[in-house]
Chain A
Amino acid sequence: MTKRSGNRQALLLVLAVVTLLVLAASIRFGAIDFSITQITSSLGSLLPGHPEATLDQRIFLELRLPRAVLCLLVGASLGVGGTLMQALFRNPIVEPGLVGTSTGAAFGSAVFFVLGGVFHIGVSLWSLPIAACAGGIISTYLVFMLARSREDARASIVMLLLTGLAVNALFTSGIGFLSYIARDPQARSITFWTLGTLSGASWKAVEIVTVSTAAGTLLALRYAKQLNALMIGEEEATYLGVNVNRLKWIILSVNVVIVAIATAFTGVISFVGLIVPHILRILGGADNRFLIVGSALTGATLLTLADLMARLVIRPAELPIGILTSAVGVPVFILLLRRRQYVF
């Protein structure tokens, strides 16, 4: 254990360094590349007493930088969300995108954008995240309620995935309808909601997602030991002093909130939450204390890499990020399904 936990700490340190390196690449390269002097002078222009920022500097400060930071936070949220869902359902093929959370959240935010535009609802900083959470809660609840069979109170994984598929389709068509009637140019693009993009990043979004990601991850870490106990079964966890029902509610809520808020600003980004915990388990085992911190870092790194590629592949135009995450995620998902070493 001591040897292994030492390895894990070293691994987390490496992951943190990699995250920083990828972040550095992400702020440097894109539709236009910024040199290191440009980056430092842009950051310098924020200090009091410095001259007004130039156009290039403002592009860096108001577009590139918030986008890179938002990407880190969203990736971290999705990674942690995946770890929490897998721990809770004791199954490595569950992720927030598959059980309706992401699509529901995207639907909730689309409703907010469209109806907010029509009825001129008073908009505060937190109205969009609240709408997204409401959507995420409704869709996730719907999936779990419908997937539960009459005989067995626990939802079987096959039912869960099939119901998730159906509910996702329903909310996606809802998003399609809203996009069709929308006036807001952002909301009008259905690809924004269903394939995800970070092009709409702003400091306001960064502010909100920082709060949800940090609070959610810290709260999850407090329950990491209880989630570990859950790995040997609900009954055994109870005997180890875990209040299983309370744990389920807390973890499901944390998951819905962090994933829904991230989705509100980026649309649905699938499969990050599926792959990230899996990579980490191969590298350092299944201890949730390690997985939660590790999946925040790895999620941030992978999503930043994906975003970097989305910006570079067809530059100066860009791809929706969801295309890239799905292209990598779907084969992994199918591979996991086919290995069948897990109980369905």
Chain B
Amino acid sequence: MLTATNISFRVGAKPLISDISIAFAAAKLHLIIGPNGAGKSTLVKVLARFLHPQTGKVEYQGADVHQASEAELAKRRAVLSQAIDVAFPLTVREVVMMGRYPHFAGRPGPVDESIVDQVMDHMDVTEFSQRDYQTLSGGERQRVNFARVLAQLWNDGQSKDLKACRYLFLDEPLTFLDIRHQIDFMKKIRTFADAPDIVTVGVVHDLNLAAQFADHIVLLNEGKVVANGTASEVLTTELIEKVFGVTPRFIAHDSRVHIVFN
């Protein structure tokens, strides 16, 4: 369980998010939607403890996240961002292995090597294992990074605290992916998010993907939570018109509702 209480973050005098209070349960996929500049990325960065909110606090299972050490937190919190550039020639496997860095001192052990094998297989990147990351396409890079993030959170069977949750944050992970990989990614995120000790919070742009995959949608506008609930509660004509400034139509097809825009 992740709870945020009255968090506000501003740069200079400009508030990016103001007075947000919200809770995210484990084993559910929580997706944040909203127009550009709504504060989605800022909220994710505050929740993941990259940014320190000026007011309010973020708690992981009741413990203030700003009291935890970087190294401890990295064992159970991972973030997938968009478009990661590497300045130097690194092989794909080296990038994925970075996900294990919080878990070993010195050199990687057999457990780390085996987890890297598993996640690379899971993300279909085993074939580029020895390729230079810089030579990959945007979509391939994103798959490699997802493998890295999964390696960071992978259950290595060594966690002593059985009740400790793991936290996965996704900051627009679908940018640069083609439609097939977008759906494939969402399915993999969905599967991972189903584990009982995983709290998953992500930002996506595509309202249809959000409606299809999320258990819980948070609609953000101008740094505030406008609505918060299931897809049918949040994705209504009035709210979408108000927040995005476009008029949606809902089309039922194969027992699913699709949103199209005029």
Residues of A within 8 A of B (CB): 1-2, 4, 90-92, 225, 228-229, 231-233, 235-236, 238-243, 281, 285-287, 342-343
Chain A's nearest CB lies how many Å from the CB of B169? 8
Q: Which 10 pairs across A and B sit closest by C-beta, in order of nearness? A: A241-B74, A286-B88, A90-B87, A241-B102, A241-B71, A239-B79, A241-B70, A1-B93, A243-B70, A240-B101
> Least Cβ distance of B117 to chain A in Å?
10
Query: Which interface residue of A4, A92, A236, A242 has the most chain B CB atoms within 10 A?
Result: A236
Nearest CB on B from A219, distance (A) = 15
CA distance A238 to B74 in the complex (A): 8
Q: Contacts A1-B97, A242-B70 known; A232 to B77 CB distance under 8 Å? A: no
* A233–B74 alpha-carbon span in the complex (Å): 15
| Min distance, Cβ B200 to any Cβ of chain A, angstroms | 15
Q: How far is the CA of A236 from the CA of B95 in the complex (A)?
A: 11
A240 touches B91 (CB 8 A): no
Residues of chain A contacted by B99 (CB below 8 angstroms): 240
Number of interface residues of B (CB under 8 A): 33
Q: Does residue B152 face the partner (Cβ distance < 8 Å to A)? A: yes
B113 beta carbon closer than 8 Å to chain A: yes
Least CB distance, B96 to chain A, in whole angstroms: 9
With a cutoff of 8 Å between Cβ atoms, the chain B residues found around residue A1 in the complex are 91, 93-94, 97, 108, 113, 116
Most central of B70, B71, B116 by chain A CB within 10 Å: B70
Complex contact A240–B130 (CB within 8 A): no
CA distance A161 to B90 in the complex (A): 26
Contacting pair B87 A239 (CB below 8 A): no
Q: Which residue on chain A has the smallest CB distance to residue B129?
A: A1
Q: What is the distance, in angstroms, from B146's C-beta to the closest C-beta of chain A?
A: 13
Which A residues are CB-close (under 8 A) to B86? Answer: 231-232
Residues of B within 8 A of A241 (CB): 70-75, 101-102
Which residue of the partner chain A has the closest CB to B84?
A232
**Complex alpha-carbon distance, A240 and B80, angstroms:** 11
Given A241-B101, A287-B94, also A4-B130 (CB < 8 A): yes
Q: Which chain B residues border A242 with CB–CB below 8 Å?
A: 70
B75 touches A91 (CB 8 A): no
CB-CB < 8 A to B78: which residues of A? Answer: 239
Shortest Cβ gap from A274 to chain B (Å): 14
Cα of A222 to Cα of B61 in the assembled complex, Å: 33
Contact status of A343 and B85, CB under 8 A, knowing A239-B77, A240-B98: yes
Would A281 and B88 count as touching, CB distance under 8 A? yes
Say if the beta carbon of B81 comes within 8 Å of chain A: yes
Complex Cα distance, B70 from A114, in Å, reads: 47
**B 88-127 contacts with A by CB, 8 A:** 88-91, 93-95, 97-99, 101-102, 108, 113, 116
User: CB-defined interface of B43-85 with A at 8 Å, one 1/0 digit per residue?
Assistant: 0000010100000000000000000001111110111010011
Known contacts: A90-B87, A92-B87. The answer to whether A239 contacts B48 by CB under 8 A is yes
B87 near A240: Cβ-Cβ < 8 Å: no
Bound complex: CA of A238 vs CA of B90, how far in Å?
Answer: 19
Kindly identify which residue among A92, A225, A233 contacts B101, using a CB–CB cutoff of 8 Å: A225
Shortest beta-carbon distance, B119 to chain A, in Å?
Answer: 14
Indicate the member of A91, A92, A239, A285 with the most B CB atoms within 10 Å: A239
Q: Which residue of A lies closest to B97 (CB)?
A: A1
Asked if residues B90 and A231 are in contact (CB atoms below 8 Å), the reply is yes
Residue of B nearest to A5 (CB): B107
How many Å lie between the Cα of A228 and that of B130 in the bound state?
Answer: 17
In the assembled complex, 21 residue pairs joining A and B whose CB atoms fall closer than 8 Å, in A order, are A1-B91, A1-B94, A1-B108, A4-B130, A92-B87, A92-B88, A225-B101, A228-B94, A228-B98, A231-B88, A232-B84, A238-B50, A238-B70, A239-B77, A240-B101, A241-B70, A241-B75, A286-B88, A287-B90, A287-B94, A342-B87
Contacting residues, chain B, for A2 (C-beta < 8 A): 113
- Give A15 to B88 CA distance when docked, in angstroms: 22
Instruction: Report B81 CB to chain A, min CB distance, Å.
Output: 7
A263 to B72: give the CA distance in the assembly, Å: 40
Q: With both chains docked as a complex, state the minimum distance between the C-beta of A339 and any C-beta of chain B, in angstroms.
A: 13
**A232-B108 Cα distance, complex, nearest whole Å:** 19
Q: Which chain A residue shows the least CB distance to B116?
A: A1
Verify B70–A285 contact, CB threshold 8 A. no
Closest beta carbon of chain B to A11's beta carbon, Å: 15
A-chain residues with CB within 8 Å of residue B101 when the two chains form the complex? 225, 228-229, 240-241
Give the residue of B70, B98, B116, B152 whose beta carbon is less than 8 angstroms from that of A232: B98
Taken together as a complex, chains A and B put the C-alpha atoms of A1 and B94 apart, in Å, by: 7
A92 to B87, CA, bound (A): 8
Complex interface: chain B residues within 8 A of A243 (CB):
70
Chain A residues, CB < 8 A from B94:
1, 228, 285, 287
| A16 CB to nearest chain B CB (Å) | 20
Determine whether the beta carbon of A239 is less than 8 Å from that of B90: no
Among A232, A235, A239, A281, point to the contact of B95 (Cβ < 8 A): A232
Bound: A239/B71 CA distance, A: 9
CB-defined contacts of B88 to chain A, threshold 8 Å: 90, 92, 231, 281, 286
Q: Are A236 and B84 in contact (CB under 8 A)?
A: yes
Q: How far is the CA of A281 from the CA of B70 in the complex (A)?
A: 29
Q: A241-B71, A286-B88 are in contact. List 16 more A-B contacts (CB 8 A).
A: A1-B108, A2-B113, A4-B91, A92-B87, A231-B86, A231-B88, A235-B81, A239-B74, A240-B74, A240-B152, A241-B75, A241-B101, A285-B90, A285-B91, A286-B89, A343-B87
